[in-house]
C-alpha cells in the first residue's frame, strides 16, 4: 500500500476504535494484474547510421523489444534534506499509487513540491486536454538560467511509468538542490547553468483511461466517442479484448479522441507520414490534420515560447532502449547521436539505429526546430505496467538530468 492509502486507513481505524473497542477490520489490497509482453515504443524498421550497419527490427509488429542487463552504477549521488520550505515526508513526496501513477496523484504531488521547494520550483497549466484536464509545465531551477533542457513524460496513455519517473526526478533534484552531486557535478552548479523545463504528463486523459478505465471519463461526449472507438476497433479486428477496460489497460496510447499525440505534431512534411491507421484507434492514428489535438497545440505553443532549448529527453516505456534517428542531417544529427550514446552509456540501455519518421514531438523538435532529442524507453516490455517496474527504471534514469547537463555543458 502507498503512504496515501496507509494514512487513510489509519484514520478510519482510529475513529472506529473510539466507537467500538477491540473491533478488527481486514484491509484488502488490490492485486496487480498479470502483465503480458508487448512491443517497445517505436515500430519502424531499423536503418544503419553512417558508421555502422545493423539488421532490421520491427518491434511493434512482433510484440517484442530488445532488453539489456541492468546498468552498473559507478557513483552514488549525494543529497541532503531541503534547507527551506515545508519538510518533505520521510518516504518522499512522489511515490507509486495503488493503480500506478494517476493524474490526481500527480496534481497532489505538484502542489506538495511547490509547498516544500517553492524557492526552486514553479509549475503552471499550459492548456487543457480533450476531457478537460490541465496539462502542466514545470520549471526546476532558476527560470532565468542562460540555458534550457526539456524533459517530457506521459505522452502515451499506458506509459504512466514515464510520468512517475519524471516527477521523481523533479523531487530528487529539488531535495538535493544545495548539496547534491553526481559525476563530479554539483546540482547547485547545474541549476546555475541550466533551467529544466518538465512536462510530466502530456496526455492526462490517456493515462487515466489506461489506469482507471472508462469510469475516469469526465464528460458524456467523450465517453460516447471512446465507446465508439472500442466498438470500431473490435469490429476491425484490432483488439480481442472483451471488456472496454481491458482494452484500455493493455492497449491505450492515444488521447480521448483516439489520436496518438506522438503522431500528431505539425511536422513540415506531416502529410507524408504513414502510420498504417486511418481512423481513431488506441495507437498510431495521427489525426485528421497536423496538430489537430488540444494537447499537441498546447505543447507546441509552449515549446515555441521558450526560445532556444539545448535538447530534450522524452521518457516512454518500454524496452530499455534509446531511439535517436528521425532522418535528421548535418550537425544536429551528430549531436543527437552523441546525446543518445551518453544516455546509453549511463543507463546500460541498447542504442538503436532506427530511422523513424512518425510526426512525434521528437521529430518536430529535431527536424523543424533543430533541437537534439532522444527517446528513452524505460522498463521491461510488459503491460499493464506493474509498479514493481519502478525501482529498476528509477535507478537507471535518476541522474540523466546530470548526464544531459554535462553533455550540453561541454
Are 2 and 91 contained in the same domain?
no
- 321-323 and 350-352 beta bridge pairing: parallel
Quick check: is 147 in a domain? yes
pLDDT of 215: 98
Which pLDDT score is estimated for 91? 74
pTM over 0.85: no
Residues 164/100, Cβ–Cβ less than 8 Å? yes
* Same domain, residue pair 15 and 159: no
Rounded Cα distance, 275 and 260, in Å: 10
Residue 118 inside a domain? The answer is yes
**36 domain residue, yes or no:** no
- Mention every residue, 6+ apart, whose C-beta is less than 8 A from residue 254: 156, 157, 203, 206, 260, 261, 280, 281, 282, 283, 285
- As given in the structure block, the three cell numbers for residue 21 are 473497542
Q: Confidence band (pLDDT; 50, 70, 90) for 78?
A: very low
Nearest to 163 by CA among 190, 130, 133: 133
- The pLDDT value recorded for residue 65 is 36
In a domain, 328, yes or no: yes
Task: Write out the three cell numbers for 386.
Answer: 506493474
Query: Residue 28 pLDDT > 90, yes or no?
Result: no
What residues make up the domain containing 72? 41-207+293-409
**58 in the same domain as 14:** no
Whether residue 354 lies inside any domain: the answer is yes
Nearest of 24, 63, 96 to residue 391 by alpha carbon: 96
- Residue 5 or residue 108, greater confidence: 108
Tell me: pLDDT of 242 over 50: yes
Region 203-222: what's the mean pLDDT?
A: 98
Q: What is the mean pLDDT of residues 47-55?
A: 34
Tens of pLDDT, residue by residue over 87-106, are 777 779 999 998 899 999 99
Q: What is the pLDDT of residues 108-143, one digit of tens each?
A: 999 999 999 999 999 999 999 999 999 999 999 999
**Cis before residue 318, ω within 30 degrees of 0?**
yes
Please indicate, yes or no, whether residues 48 and 185 belong to a single structural domain of this protein: yes
Stretch 252-265: mean pLDDT, rounded?
Answer: 98
Whether the upstream peptide bond of residue 384 has omega within 30° of 0, thus cis, is yes
The pLDDT of residue 85 is: 63
The reply to whether 50 and 199 lie within a common domain is yes
316 and 174 in a common domain:
yes
Using DSSP's 3-state secondary structure scheme, residue 21 falls into coil
184 and 330 co-located in one domain: yes
d(CA 298, CA 136): 10
Question: Percent of the chain, pLDDT > 90?
Answer: 74
User: What's the pLDDT score for residue 43?
Assistant: 46
Residue 206's pLDDT is what?
98
Do 17 and 87 share a domain, yes or no?
Answer: no
Asked if residue 288 belongs to a domain, the reply is no
Find out whether 45 and 56 touch, Cβ atoms under 8 Å.
yes
* Residues 341-385 pLDDT 10s: 999 999 999 999 878 789 999 999 999 999 999 999 999 888 889
Whole-angstrom CA distances from 353 to 14, 180, 332, 363, 407 are 58, 35, 16, 15, 20
Q: Which pLDDT score, from 0 to 100, does residue 57 have?
A: 35
Residue-by-residue DSSP string for 119-151:
TTEEEEEEEE-TTS-EEEEEEES-TT-SEEEEE
C-alpha cell at 107: 496534481
Element (H, E) at 107: helix 103-117
Q: Of the given ranges (86-90, 167-171, 192-196), which has the lowest mean pLDDT?
A: 86-90
Q: Is residue 377, in this structure, part of any structural domain at all?
A: yes
Same domain, 63 and 153: yes
Other residues' Cβ atoms within 10 Å of the Cβ of residue 349: 23
Nearest 10 degrees: Cα torsion 235, 236, 240, 243: -40
Dihedral sign (CA 387, 392, 395, 397): negative
Q: Are residues 22 and 116 in the same domain?
A: no
Judge whether 223 lies within some domain. no
* Separation between Cα atoms, residue 201 and residue 332, nearest integer Å: 27
Does one domain contain both 14 and 48? Answer: no
pLDDT in tens, 274-323: 999 999 999 999 999 999 999 999 999 999 999 999 999 999 999 999 99
- Name the average pLDDT for the chain: 84
Residue 15, SS3 per DSSP = helix
Q: Give the per-residue pLDDT at 42.
A: 53
Q: Considering its fold, how many domains does the chain have in total?
A: 2
CATH of the domain at 65: 3.40.630.10
CA–CA distance, 156 with 202 (Å, rounded to integer): 8
Class of residue 161 by CB neighbours under 10 A (exposed 0-12, middle 13-18, buried 19+): buried
**Do 161 and 54 reside in the same domain of the chain?**
yes
Residue 55 has pLDDT above 60, yes or no: no
Whether 309 contacts 364, CB under 8 Å: no
Strand segments (E) across 72-132: 121-128
Amino acid at each position: 500500500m502507498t503512504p496515501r492509502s496507509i494514512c487513510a486507513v489509519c484514520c478510519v481505524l482510529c475513529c472506529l476504535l473510539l466507537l467500538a473497542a477491540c473491533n478488527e477490520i481486514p484491509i484488502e489490497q488490490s492485486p496487480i494484474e498479470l502483465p503480458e509482453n508487448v512491443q517497445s515504443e517505436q515500430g519502424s524498421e531499423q536503418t544503419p547510421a553512417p558508421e555502422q550497419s545493423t539488421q532490421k527490427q520491427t518491434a511493434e509488429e512482433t510484440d517484442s523489444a530488445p532488453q539489456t542487463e541492468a546498468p552498473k552504477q559507478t557513483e552514488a549521488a549525494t543529497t541532503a534534506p531541503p534547507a527551506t520550505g515545508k519538510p518533505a515526508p520521510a518516504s518522499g513526496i512522489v511515490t507509486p499509487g495503488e493503480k500506478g501513477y494517476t493524474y490526481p496523484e500527480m496534481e497532489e504531488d505538484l502542489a506538495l513540491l511547490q509547498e516544500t521547494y517553492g524557492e526552486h520550483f514553479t509549475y503552471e497549466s499550459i492548456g487543457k486536454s480533450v476531457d478537460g484536464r490541465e496539462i502542466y509545465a514545470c520549471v526546476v531551477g532558476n527560470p532565468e538560467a542562460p540555458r534550457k533542457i526539456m524533459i517530457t513524460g506521459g505522452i502515451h496513455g499506458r506509459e504512466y511509468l514515464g510520468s512517475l519517473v519524471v516527477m521523481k526526478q523533479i523531487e530528487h533534484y529539488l531535495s538535493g538542490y544545495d548539496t547534491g552531486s553526481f559525476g563530479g557535478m554539483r546540482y547547485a552548479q547545474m541549476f546555475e547553468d541550466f533551467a529544466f523545463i518538465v512536462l510530466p504528463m502530456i496526455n492526462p486523459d490517456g493515462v487515466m483511461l489506461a489506469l482507471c478505465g472508462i469510469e475516469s471519463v469526465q464528460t458524456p461526449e467523450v465517453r460516447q466517442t471512446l465507446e465508439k472507438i472500442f466498438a470500431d476497433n473490435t469490429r476491425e479486428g484490432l483488439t480481442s479484448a472483451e471488456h472496454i477496460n481491458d482494452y484500455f489497460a493493455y492497449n491505450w496510447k492515444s488521447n480521448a479522441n483516439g489520436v496518438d499525440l506522438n503522431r500528431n505534431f505539425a511536422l513540415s512534411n506531416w502529410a507524408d507520414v504513414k502510420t498504417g491507421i486511418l481512423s481513431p484507434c488506441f495507437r498510431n492514428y495521427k489525426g485528421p490534420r497536423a496538430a489537430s489535438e488540444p494537447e499537441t497545440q498546447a505543447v507546441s505553443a509552449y515549446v515555441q515560447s521558450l526560445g532556444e532549448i539545448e535538447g530534450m529527453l522524452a521518457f516512454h516505456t518500454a524496452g530499455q532502449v534509446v531511439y535517436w534517428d528521425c532522418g535528421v542531417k548535418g550537425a544536429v544529427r551528430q549531436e543527437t547521436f552523441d546525446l543518445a550514446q551518453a544516455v546509453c552509456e549511463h543507463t546500460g540501455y541498447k542504442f538503436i539505429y532506427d530511422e523513424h519518421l512518425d510526426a512525434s514531438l521528437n521529430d518536430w523538435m529535431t527536424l523543424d526546430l533543430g533541437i537534439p532529442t532522444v527517446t528513452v524507453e524505460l522498463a521491461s516490455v510488459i503491460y499493464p505496467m506493474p509498479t514493481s517496474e519502478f525501482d529498476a527504471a528509477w535507478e537507471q534514469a535518476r541522474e540523466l538530468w546530470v548526464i544531459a547537463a554535462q553533455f550540453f555543458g561541454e
